[in-house]
């Protein structure tokens, strides 16, 4: 069961973080403009349609990132035992390192090989904390698979820890490459976080009085408290980043968001089923793979083509992303509309994923 006092503290602190985010973004956006950290929105403001391109402040993910980290530090006051502190500190270390990585990438434009390697180091505290908190390295098969293979569990040992590392890398980068439309990155991250929160709440209220159920409930509570402040600070950023965007979130937010979701799944002890909430990201990664590995030439920006004649986005054939694939299926659409379509697809996939997670867990 959930502890009412700690839950109220988390919600109040998260709501405060939302207000701080809303207040700080306009201030920090002026700082980034003065520091030449800005960009043009390539999907609008074309000279041919009589509109000038406006400088949009970048790297604004640093505001919710730092505000979120301060929330986690404050939460530690209410979890004084050493086991809880080890878990919170691991989350802080991994997420803090990833926020720094994203900001450095926004400023220095790191090469892809560094973007893949550095999150692997950032996730090492998660691997250590996973062992300390009694994380299992066994894979539990759903009943229909157990009937086929003849056993219900398989201990994969060290491979599971490698999987945790790879999951962190994927989560951090999958949000980053599924981007390019106002509000899409923040929107998809919030949706996944909301479904993680729903899963945790259900797990907490379905447990019995056994020792195993208490362990699951504690892990679910931790995971819930990780995503609640993330949802709030992301909502504050979404106000400014939704169409028409007044700020760009930068790689700072996408890496930060991916690592928060990975932390919630790994230290919430459902890392093996977390991926079912990332179905659109998995589809986008699969479509992008030929360009990511160099089989097909990969341009710097793989955005759809904005046509000033009709004000719509058109698919670009050699830009292998889910955004362009969706536009090829639907035809040209306005940026706001295609964002709504893709976020609706995210909700549908997460709904199916949550149903699968609950069914596999027998809830």
> pLDDT band at residue 146, thresholds of 50, 70 and 90?
low
Q: Are 29 and 248 in contact (CB under 8 A)?
A: no
How many whole angstroms separate alpha carbon 221 and alpha carbon 230? 15
- The per-residue pLDDT for 80 is 66
Pairwise pLDDT comparison (260 vs 213), residue with the higher score: 260
Give me the domain span that covers residue 65: 4-361
**pLDDT at residue 27 greater than cutoff 90:** yes
- The per-residue pLDDT for 278 is 98
**pLDDT at residue 134 greater than cutoff 70:** no
- The per-residue pLDDT for 302 is 85
DSSP secondary structure letters along 143-187? HHHHHHHS-SEEE-THHHHHHHHHHHHHHHHHHHHS--STTHHHH
- The per-residue pLDDT for 345 is 98
**pTM recorded for the entire structure:** 0.92
Pairwise pLDDT comparison (43 vs 75), residue with the higher score: 75
Pairwise pLDDT comparison (141 vs 351), residue with the higher score: 351
Which residue is associated with the tokens 């602190």? 13
How many whole angstroms separate alpha carbon 126 and alpha carbon 306? 41
**Nearest by Cα to 28 from 71, 2, 54, 63:** 63
How many whole angstroms separate alpha carbon 14 and alpha carbon 224? 12
Q: How many domains does the chain have?
A: 1
- The per-residue pLDDT for 218 is 85
Pairwise pLDDT comparison (304 vs 211), residue with the higher score: 304
**pLDDT at residue 31 greater than cutoff 90:** yes
40 DSSP β-pair partners: 55
Question: How far does CA 132 lie from the centroid of its chain?
Answer: 25
Q: Is 41 helix (H, G, I), strand (E, B) or coil?
A: coil
- The per-residue pLDDT for 63 is 97
């Amino acid at each position: 069961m959930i502890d009412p006092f700690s839950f109220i503290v988390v919600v109040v602190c998260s709501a405060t973080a939302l207000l701080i985010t809303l207040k700080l973004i306009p201030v920090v956006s002026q700082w980034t403009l003065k520091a030449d950290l800005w960009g043009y929105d390539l999907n609008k403001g074309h000279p041919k349609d009589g509109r000038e391109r406006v400088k949009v402040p970048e790297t604004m993910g640093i505001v919710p990132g730092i505000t979120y980290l301060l929330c986690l530090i404050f939460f530690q006051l209410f979890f004084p035992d050493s086991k809880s502190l080890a878990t919170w500190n691991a989350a802080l270390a991994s997420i803090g390192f990833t926020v720094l990585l994203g900001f450095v990438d926004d400023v220095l434009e790191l090469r892809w090989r560094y973007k893949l390697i550095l999150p692997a180091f950032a996730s090492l505290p998660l691997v250590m904390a996973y062992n300390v908190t009694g994380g299992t390295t066994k894979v539990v098969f759903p009943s229909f698979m157990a009937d086929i293979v003849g056993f219900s569990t398989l201990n994969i040992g060290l491979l599971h820890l490698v999987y945790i590392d790879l999951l962190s890398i994927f989560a951090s980068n999958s949000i980053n490459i599924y981007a390019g439309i106002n509000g899409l990155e923040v929107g998809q991250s919030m949706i996944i976080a909301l479904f993680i929160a729903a899963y945790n709440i259900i797990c907490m209220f379905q447990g019995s009085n056994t020792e195993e159920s208490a362990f699951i409930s504690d892990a679910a509570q931790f995971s819930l408290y990780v995503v609640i402040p993330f949802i709030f600070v992301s909502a504050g950023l979404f106000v400014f980043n939704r169409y028409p965007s007044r700020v760009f979130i930068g790689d700072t937010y996408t890496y930060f968001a991916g690592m928060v979701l990975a932390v919630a799944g790994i230290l919430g002890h459902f890392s093996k089923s977390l991926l079912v909430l990332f179905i659109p990201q998995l589809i986008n990664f699969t479509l992008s793979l030929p360009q990511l590995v160099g089989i097909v030439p990969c341009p710097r920006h793989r955005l759809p083509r904005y046509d000033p004649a009709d004000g719509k986005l058109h698919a670009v054939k050699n830009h292998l992303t889910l955004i362009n694939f969706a536009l090829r299926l639907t035809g040209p659409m306005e940026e706001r509309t295609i964002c709504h379509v893709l976020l609706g697809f995210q909700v549908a996939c997460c709904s199916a994923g949550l149903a699968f997670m609950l069914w596999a867990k027998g809830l």
